[in-house]
Amino acid sequence: MVLGLIRVGDKLINREKIRNIVDEILLLRSHGHSQQDVASRLGIDRTFISRLESIGEVRKGKTMALIGFPLANKEEIETVAYELGVDFVLLMTEQERWAFVEKRSGLELFNDIMALIARIRSYDVVILLGSDKRIRILKALLNGEVVSLELGTSPLQNDVYVDPQVVRKLICDLRGDA
């Protein structure tokens, strides 16, 4: 194989060209274009796009967000979430939570929190890991399906260990995995 070229029988295939077309298909589809529109635009068969999406599909269905703090094993929980295709993950340790608050003015903090809430409201399912009070507040602000795992009574002042297998099972159950 030289310069991304590969011989298949009597054909010489350009792997870079394939990558570029696949990237363009996925970009157009992610921007809301229909399979038929993309197929017409690129001069390919619509069923090819359907099959391509099926090959790469991680999951169907509801979009999901995971929010949690203060976590002692933040990286472990992030790994589980990313492995299972959670769309949005916002996890913090107690130190990160205070850094988030302290580096902003009152107005900046308010605006950033409102922007986060607006973003999180766009997900179909939101999993909350936090204190009883934070969970109550966030449930009142969010729409859609909200599932919580209470880490203790407010105010939590230390990082809390969360069993990654509990989070894995919760995400799988919400996705409807067998």
- Cα–Cα distances in Å, from 97 out to 61, 69, 91? 31, 7, 9
Q: What is the residue extent of each domain of the chain?
A: 5-56, 64-175
According to DSSP, the residues that pair with 125 across neighbouring strands are 64, 145
Question: How many whole angstroms separate alpha carbon 25 and alpha carbon 51?
Answer: 12
pLDDT in tens, 138-161: 999 987 789 999 999 999 999 999
Mean pLDDT across 121-136: 94
pLDDT in tens, 81-125: 999 999 999 999 999 999 999 999 999 999 999 999 999 998 999
**Domain covering 5-56, topology:** Arc Repressor Mutant, subunit A (1.10.10)
Domain 64-175 classified CATH 1.20.120?
Answer: no
**Fold equal for 5-56 and 64-175:** no
pLDDT, the chain, mean: 91
pLDDT of residue 60: 62
pLDDT of residue 57: 66
Q: Can you give the pTM of this predicted structure?
A: 0.67
55 pLDDT band, cuts 50/70/90, is confident
Residue 77: left (phi > 0), alpha (psi -120 to 50), or beta? alpha
